Homo-oligomer: A and B are copies of this chain.
Amino acid sequence: MMRKINVGIIGFGTIGSGVLKILQDNSDVIRKRLGAIVEVVKIADLDITSDRGVRVDPKLLTTQAQEVIKHPEVDVVVELIGGYEPARSLILQAVNEGKHVVTANKALLAKHGSEIFSAVENQQLSIGFEAAVGGAIPIIRAIRESFVANKIYSIEGIVNGTANYILSKMSDEQCSFDLALKEAQDKGFAEADPTFDIEGIDSAHKIAILSQLAYGTPVNFGDITIQGISGVSIDDIECAREFGYRIKLLAISKFDGDSVDIRVHPAMIPQSNLMANVNGVLNAVRVCDDLMEENILIGHGAGSLPTGSAVVADIIEISRDILSGSKLRVSPRSFLSTSIKTIPILNIESIDSEYFLRFSVFDNPGVLSLISGILGKYSIGIFSVIQKGRCDEGKAVPLIMMTHHSNEKNIQLALREIDKLKVVYEKSNFIRVEK
């Protein structure tokens, strides 16, 4: 008789219904590859009446998460409610009950990952969280298992589909941020409250998780510099294009052997770069290391079936461990708990980068000299300049510069000084360049 792995789901929303649908519709291919049946035996959600577009035996539904966690037959608990609590407590309880866990909860793992991973390891259980970063993109498995002998030195990710959709739309259709956001909401690519997505917090959760796996360090989420895309204007995007760049919301993590530089912000990427051509809701993660130079994984980072597909792959991985009798095959943190070592996170002020600067100035004689003088004082070298004149004297005109590699702190000091000049019409803007 074919063996059976029993799954309990907590949270029957978009992803939860996708997981159930996949386990039902694709049970044949799962059976042919795993050699076992994966069956959902309990589903908990506060709302057990709404139609999710997937057939479900009403007997499976409960409003009590405890009925999933304490279910004697459940092998794997799938947590899909998101947020910190009660998700954290439920996962810890499930682990305490001897259940393996699969979760897509990036916020929770970014902040409470260490606690959860330790609990899982102490109980000799497994935890899967492929769906927490990049949806269907197999980046967690790649780092934990494929790039396992590699000294990773950088990760760059376009890991928020909402933000990428908005920036792509602004770029392709020359529309404003507000219009692009509205369309993303109309199409279901952005939530009613899009703060986490557009302000970079969701991306920061994801890069925090990837950094832990890549370098074997805990990451204090509060140390990450986070800047979203709500300040990106259509002017920035057009200027970027003139210089041969596109603007993407990048989650960046770099390790120089001594410290890690983790940050999320809009970045200018050369148009010839593959990452610059990852558009719409697509996500991409680029990993660089000492052995393979670069590896780029591109796919859908959200949605019921893409994310559900990653959740199911984790369920099957755990099923394989159960069926083959293996325990603690892969460390959840990618490094053994005894090898985790805190690496300091660099303050953003100490990074070096090239910068795109956009000033709005009155077209008076001497403006360029004034501004470039201040930049020079702070050791900021100018690589190229575009100044656009206007016929209607007295109005502000844009002055655009690309700098050589400069120090962030100096950029900030220089801009503060420049913004005090009488010839400067509004607050100056800068965007970091990533090549």
The residues of A with any CB-CB pair to B shorter than 8 Å are 22-23, 26, 29-35, 130, 135-138, 141-142, 145-151, 216, 274, 277-278, 290-300, 305-306, 308-310, 312-313, 316-317, 320-321, 323-331, 334-336, 339
Contacts and interface: CB of A to CB of B under 8 A. Distances in A.
A2 to B, nearest CB: 11
Contact of A306 (B31, B291, B316, B323): B291
Contact of A300 (B293, B305, B328): B293
A207 to B, nearest CB: 20
Interface-centre pick from A146, A295, A334 (highest chain B CB count, 10 A): A146
A325 B325 CA distance: 7
Contacts of A137: 295
A293 B303 CA distance: 11
Nearest to A274: B277
20 contacts: A22-B291, A26-B290, A26-B291, A29-B150, A33-B331, A130-B146, A137-B295, A138-B142, A141-B142, A141-B145, A142-B142, A147-B313, A149-B312, A274-B298, A291-B309, A296-B299, A297-B297, A297-B298, A324-B328, A326-B329
Contacts of A316: 145, 148-149
A309 B141 contact: no
Given A34-B148, A149-B29, A321-B329, A292 B274 contact: no
Contacts of A292: 135-136, 299-300, 305-306, 309
B321 A293 contact: no
Contact of A32 (B31, B300, B323, B336): B336
Nearest to A292: B136
A299 B277 CA distance: 16
A339 B141 CA distance: 25
Interface-centre pick from A138, A298, A306, A335 (highest chain B CB count, 10 A): A138
Contact of A324 (B33, B277, B300, B326): B326
A435 to B, nearest CB: 16
Contact of A325 (B310, B312, B317, B326): B326
Contacts of A290: 26, 305
A321 to B, nearest CB: 7
A260 to B, nearest CB: 15
Contact of A216 (B32, B145, B320, B334): B32
Which 3 A-B residue pairings sit nearest by Cβ, starting from the closest? Answer: A326-B326, A136-B292, A138-B146
A249 to B, nearest CB: 18
B148 A33 contact: yes
A324 B26 CA distance: 29
Contacts of A327: 324-325
A417 to B, nearest CB: 41
A79 to B, nearest CB: 19
A166 to B, nearest CB: 19
A216 B33 CA distance: 9
Contacts of A151: 26, 29
A135 B294 CA distance: 12
